[in-house]
Amino acid sequence: MSEQSARDLFAARFQGAPDGVWAAPGRVNLIGEHTDYNDGFVLPFAIDRSTAAALALRDDRRVRVASTFDAALVDTTLDDVAERRFAGWSAYPLGVAWAFGEAGTDLAGQRGFDLALDSDVPVGAGLSSSAAIEMATAVALNDAWRVDADRAALARLGRRAENIAVGAPTGIMDQCASVFGRADAAVFLDCRSLDVEQVRLGFAEAGLVLLVVDTRVEHAHATGGYKDRREACERGAAALGVPALRDLGLDDLPRAEQELDPVTYRRVKHVVTEDDRVLRSVDALKAGDVAAFGRLMVESHASMRDDFEISVPELDAVVDVALAHGAVGARMTGGGFGGAAIALVAADAVDPLREAVAERFAASGYRGAAAFPVVPADGARRLA
Ligand code: GLA
């Protein structure tokens, strides 16, 4: 994204200049998958790709949204937004405006707005392009409407938009990564308390690159496997008598195995062991032990492939090829059923790895994968 292209779009669609331009990044998750909606731990970072939002308040109640990723201009009113009436992709930005109302902002007393969105977060690659739109809109409206909500509250608004307006039963990791991100740090988040600790990564100083390999296998979290996994986790927690799987430790697993059916047990086992891996990853990274972190990435992938069963052959292939080419660690990232894998590799291994993935994909008859490095970047903010 660029501030300028959001301004240019604003001028082309609405005439004039916006009151300001805000931006919010996508994210990549280092470790901690499907733990967020179980009140557990995650370790994502905000990436150097983001959505820019150019916004101006209006003197009436009209609301218009334009974007560089969809030709249609959305033209509605704040009254419709307050009633949760919006269609298609506009549910992401307008769902956030609705969520402000649900959380107590008096939408009847607010002015309408013109909003122009530009984004360079790839869609469908598991890098939270949707959270980037939500949080760019959230920081823009928070300032423009003078709501003064804090960052955790903004993340909650984004999740409400995603859960209720879009209809995807996701957790709060993506929105928190987008607002709490910091250059060169990961966001260690307790998804129950929303306590955040920035964990310095120092990958670049160590000569390492975090490579994202987008398999281009499309996934959707509003339907299918994601929802099914979430329900299995809730079932498991209820059967074991805890508010959330976060409340179980490794030593509860033998009891879980006895009391649960085999499939629910495997789902529970993934979440409980994954929470433990996040905590150990934070310790390893703080101690500068990148090799230990790499091993935890590999264990995390195996757990998602074998116990949570959310990987696909393309993701497994990327991980295999990355490890065979000397990656420190590799795993699928995000919700699964497609999307991207990440590999932590030496800078000079990036090109050979890209080629090896391309060869493996061609040999297996898979669609071409797209591989690109990401670096930790600052979270949602006002640009101008
Ligand atoms: C998606 C969701 C997140 C999280 C991950 C899996 O990215 O949006 O809330 O559940 O999947 O870790």
Q: Answer whether 27 contacts ligand 1 (Cβ < 6 A).
A: no
Catalytic residue among 174, 214, 275, 307: 174
pLDDT digits (tens, 9 = 90+) for 6-16: 999 999 999 99
pLDDT classification of 167: cutoffs 50, 70, 90: very high
Q: What is the DSSP letter of 305?
A: I
- The alpha carbon torsion through 44, 2, 221, 73 (nearest 10 deg) reads 160
pLDDT reading at 220 higher than 80: no
pLDDT digits (tens, 9 = 90+) for 338-354: 999 999 999 999 999 99
Q: Answer whether 171 contacts ligand 1 (Cβ < 6 A).
A: yes
- Mean pLDDT of the residues in the chain: 96
Test site for ligand 1: of 33, 130, 156, 173, most ligand atoms within 8 A of the Cβ: 173
Ligand 1 atom showing the smallest separation from residue 34 Cα = 12
pLDDT digits (tens, 9 = 90+) for 109-120: 999 999 999 999
Find the 34 Cα to ligand 1 centroid distance in Å: 6
Residue with tokens 């903004």: 154
Q: Answer whether 203 contacts ligand 1 (Cβ < 6 A).
A: no
Q: Answer whether 332 contacts ligand 1 (Cβ < 6 A).
A: no
Gap between the Cα atoms of 155 and 381, Å rounded: 13
Percent of the chain with pLDDT over 90: 95
Ligand 1 atom showing the smallest separation from residue 168 Cα = 8
Ligand 1 atom showing the smallest separation from residue 37 Cα = 10
Find the 77 Cα to ligand 1 centroid distance in Å: 31
- Ordered structural domains, the chain, with CATH: 3-198 (3.30.230.10), 201-374 (3.30.70.890)
Instruction: Find the length of the chain.
Output: 384
Three-state DSSP class for residue 125: coil
Classify strands 196-200 and 329-333 as parallel, antiparallel or unpaired: unpaired
Find the 257 Cα to ligand 1 centroid distance in Å: 25
Q: Using CA positions, which residue lies closest to atom 1 of ligand 1?
A: 335
C-beta contacts of 281-285 below 8 A and 24+ residues apart:
281/30, 281/31, 281/43, 282/43, 282/188, 282/197, 282/199, 285/186, 285/199, 285/200, 285/201
Q: What is the mean pLDDT of residues 329-341?
A: 95
Gap between the Cα atoms of 116 and 86, Å rounded: 17
Q: Answer whether 274 contacts ligand 1 (Cβ < 6 A).
A: no
Q: Answer whether 163 contacts ligand 1 (Cβ < 6 A).
A: no
Query: Would residue 174 show up in a list of annotated catalytic residues for this protein?
Result: yes
Listed residue (51, 62, 54) closest to 113, CA to CA? 62
Find the 357 Cα to ligand 1 centroid distance in Å: 25
Ligand 1 atom showing the smallest separation from residue 171 Cα = 9
pLDDT reading at 222 higher than 60: no
